[in-house]
């Protein structure tokens, strides 16, 4: 796990880099599941997931 819970691991992850085939594993579940709780949850969750995907793809290019 790399990130807020274990910031010292970021240097290790950067040194070793992502997997050569698949790339890094990025967990954004909280950003998606806590996007809303009302009747429009599905739409909000989809929008959040799409935004994360688009941001990842933009950084990959």
Classify residue 55: in a domain, yes or no.
yes
Q: Mean pLDDT, consecutive 10-residue segments, the chain of 61 residues? A: 61 64 76 91 94 85 64
Classify residue 11: in a domain, yes or no.
no
Whether this prediction's pTM lies above 0.75 is answered by no
Q: Compute the Cα dihedral for 37, 40, 46, 50 and give only its sign.
A: negative
- Distant-in-sequence, close-in-space partners of 19: CB < 8 Å, separation ≥ 6: 25
Classify residue 50: in a domain, yes or no.
yes
pLDDT value at residue 3: 57
pLDDT value at residue 26: 79
pLDDT value at residue 39: 95
Cα separation values, 52 from 4, 27, 30, Å: 17, 10, 12
Classify residue 6: in a domain, yes or no.
no
pLDDT value at residue 16: 63
Classify residue 5: in a domain, yes or no.
no
What's the domain range around 41?
21-60
Classify residue 1: in a domain, yes or no.
no
pLDDT value at residue 20: 59
Classify residue 26: in a domain, yes or no.
yes
């Amino acid at each position: 796990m790399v990130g807020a819970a274990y910031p010292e691991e970021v240097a290790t992850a950067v040194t070793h880099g992502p997997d050569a085939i698949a790339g890094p594993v990025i967990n954004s579940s909280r950003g998606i599941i806590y996007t809303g709780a009302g009747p429009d949850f599905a739409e909000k969750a989809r929008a959040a997931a799409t935004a994360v995907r688009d941001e990842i793809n933009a950084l990959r290019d």
